[in-house]
Each structure stands twice: as C-alpha cells, then as structure tokens.
Amino acid sequence: MKVWLVIVGVGAVSLLLRASSLVLLRGRTLPPGLLNSLGLVPAAVLSALVVPELLVHGGDFRPLGPRLVAGVAAALIAWKTRNVLWTLLGGLGLLFGFEALGWR
C-alpha cells in the first residue's frame, strides 16, 4: 500500500512542478529571485546524497574507506568524460576490485 502512495505522491509532485508555469500559472511565472535560488538546488541536493555515501558506512564515520577512493575516482572520470556509463563502470569496477582484495 505504501509503495503505491509513494508512486502516486512522487508522480503528482513531479507533474505539478513541470506543469507549474506552462499550464497552472498560465502566463505568469515565479519571481526571479526564487527561480535564481532553484539553480543552487541540484548541486546542494546531489552533494547531500553523495558525500555521506562516501564517508559513512554502516552508520559509522569512516573517512578513508574504499567507497571514498572509488567515488573520488568516479568524480574525476565524470569530470573528464562527462559520460555516465564510464563513471558507473569505473567506480563500480574499483569498488569490486577493492572488495576482492579484502579492503572493505
């Protein structure tokens, strides 16, 4: 049941935001100051998602783990290639390698 509430809730929010100016506000747009701050949201949200995944594992703060090394390497690949596939393969490959060597 909760799964379907998540599906419908996320779907409704996504559609309403996409339709906000195009359909719902029809002819009016949001204030420029608000739109300006929206430009910062992706950087802030994505960083809040990524950084803890690299530094915290199993609930403990672990500054120098294999996930940090693999993640930083993946960020360099992303920066150089701008390619999602290479970023994924590089990061996952390194983490698999580290775990195979017993570093976890």
Partner 1 sequence: MPLVPGVLPFSMVAGIAAVQVGFTPLESVMFSVIGYAGSAQLIAAQLYGAGSPLALIVLSSLVVNLRFAMYSASLLPLFGGVPNRVRWPLAYLMTDQAYALTMGRPDTETDPVPYYAGAAVPMWLTWQTGTAVGALLGARIPPEWPLDFAVPLSFIALLVPVLRTRPQLLAAAVSGAAAVAAHGLPFRLNLILGAACGVAAGLWAQQAERRRTGAQA
The reply on whether position 8 binds partner 1 by CB under 8 A is yes
Angle at 39 between CA 29 and CA 47, to 5 degrees: 145
In angstroms, the Cα distances linking 26 to 13, 38, 45, 85, 88 are 18, 20, 29, 39, 40
Site residues for partner 1, 59-88, by CB under 8 A, read 59, 61, 67, 70-71, 74-75, 78-79, 82-85, 87-88
Distance in angstroms (rounded) separating the CA atoms of residues 98 and 95: 5
State the minimum distance, in angstroms, from the CB of residue 1 to partner 1.
Answer: 10
Binding site for partner 1 (CB under 8 A): 2-11, 13-15, 17-23, 27, 29-30, 35-56, 59, 61, 67, 70-71, 74-75, 78-79, 82-85, 87-88, 91-92, 95-96, 99
